[in-house]
Structure 1
């Protein structure tokens, strides 16, 4: 187990190093000068040069790369060009919106998908299975931003149960803040739940056709007993993979939903930073999201080893 985890840790660390290199140098070749953008069209070359020096944009790229990485390791993300505040403060404020939203949406998605996928697998080719597969196909096909607008029209405009957007802040109370995140979480969760339910059904059906499950059935276990005692745990490996990918997507890819509901999250921060050429914010936020993806991948790998003892014994 320790050897397996050590190898995964080394692999993920190398992935993080490569990702930092790619993120930095891709943004280096993006056309446009942040200093000129900030000063406007009438800026003199001398003023632009002075601002570039103040922002730390002068010097060889490889030197600035190592300065940037060292700052990341020390928790120093630099100063935002546009907001004139430390990037760490911006990220901290926005993370307390995006992270609870991602966890909320992933929890809803899992709670919906697991029983739905198990029921569909247990009642294969029945009307319930066909109805579930049809509903999940619709959930995959419908864009989440369109579904978000339907939720706003029905629950916010017509019924007035929720607000149409905005975030009051955690200082206003936990339940008030969670209520503000409910519609965005549902809009994010339902398409992901459709994908996860289909993967759960497919994985369970594949596992139920394995020899050891047929042997268990031959010894007298019913289909339901074989599913719960033997098939379910072994079917979790691809499901855990999808859950890990979904959390990464929900944390990093909720830009459209955050803009629909006017949520001050990381996705909206990146969008605003790109439009204002605030590259230090873009680089820092993207690296934080990359780190979150790699950390989730590492946690999923640990879960693999717990769910499948063969991985713990593998050399």
Structure 2
């Protein structure tokens, strides 16, 4: 049942936020000095620590944050004073847009390549597609992002090098700004979709079931669309779900390369500035998003294959 999955997700969220809170304590620097200013007196610095609870034991600080978070209060940025929820509401849609765009590109490009490779297994065409796919898996997102900026933004001026337009303001402009970041995110995804789909279709094409369909006179196109892709749909959905989660994590570096005001860029800046409430709230939002995507995937499993039941 979905209710059981939601209950099981609670410890995961608590563990994730606890680990992040713990790691933040290792970040060098003193946020109290940052807030008060380097020339502030020791008395003023101690006042800042007391005001924000920075002088309390680690577990007390985390417990207070968790108690407030359960009540829907994620606190305020220690530097800007903006409520953390407002920060997340402003930047998270940008990240989701880029991630969804990247995943769609992965499917749009990867599915045809996987079908093409599976149609002639062990051929030169198959070897070429698989070789390029292996290269796509190995290419780092941040390196590809810098190459894309150098060639298509600074060199040819086809796309902007930095910045972003929210989809709510202009969808066409948002797509234009998000194209290069989405390509940087989707390269690994295209490779994964191609490799997984090719492997699954080759296995199905070699099965007795498909050979029987060929013997009955069904065309290869009908076998592919009515039987092949239908049988691999659950596996493909699993790959897409994993790609979404990986792309969401990869935005931390991609948004930094393209200077996009999204969750990844916000987390990086907050970590560097030791802005703990912003980091905690942003990480929790991303963890919740991953959990919701996994729940949606479980629901779609039952739609694609009714034999799969929720447990």
C-alpha displacement of 1:273: 0.7
Which of 109, 133, 152 is residue 106 of structure 2 equivalent to? 109
Which residue number corresponds to residue 227 of structure 1? 224
What is the Cα deviation at residue 207 of structure 1? 3.3
Cα distance per residue 1:21-54 (max 9 Å; x no partner): 4434444566654324433555555433321222
Q: Call closer, same or farther: CA 1:259–1:14 in 2, change over 3 Å.
A: closer
For residues 108-159 of structure 1, what are the alpha-carbon distances to aligned partners after superposition, in whole Å with 9 as ceiling and x for unaligned? 1111111111121122123322221122122222223333233223322333
Moved more, 265-274 or 151-160: 151-160
Question: Which consecutive unaligned segments of at least 5 residues does structure 2 have?
Answer: none
Partners of 2:30 and 2:140 lie apart in 1 by: 35
CA distance change for structure 1 residues 14 and 203 in 2, over 3 Å: closer, same or farther? farther
Residue 139, structure 1, aligned to residue 136, structure 2? yes
Deviates more, 1:113-122 or 1:213-222: 213-222
Which range is displaced more, 110-119 or 59-68? 59-68
Query: Which residue is 1:90 aligned to?
Result: 87
Give the superposed CA RMSD.
2.7
TM-score in terms of structure 1 length: 0.86
Counterpart check, 1:99 vs 2:96? yes
**Is the Cα–Cα contact under 8 Å of residues 103 and 186 in structure 2 kept in the other structure?**
yes
Q: How far apart in 1 are the matches of 2:108 and 2:300?
A: 18
SS across alignment from 1:57:
coil
Q: Distance in 2 between matches of 1:172 and 1:311?
A: 41
Are residues 1:207 and 2:204 paired? yes
The offset of 1:57, in angstroms, is 3.3
- Spell out the pairing of 1:136-175 with structure 2 (5 A cutoff): 136-170=133-167, 173-175=170-172
SS of the residue corresponding to residue 254 of structure 1 reads: helix
Instruction: Find 2:182's aligned residue among 178, 181, 185.
Output: 185
The aligned length equals 311
CA contact (8 A) 2:24 2:274 kept: no
Distance in 2, Cα, partners of 1:178 & 1:145:
20
User: Paired residue for 2:32?
Assistant: 35
Partner SS state of residue 253, structure 1:
helix
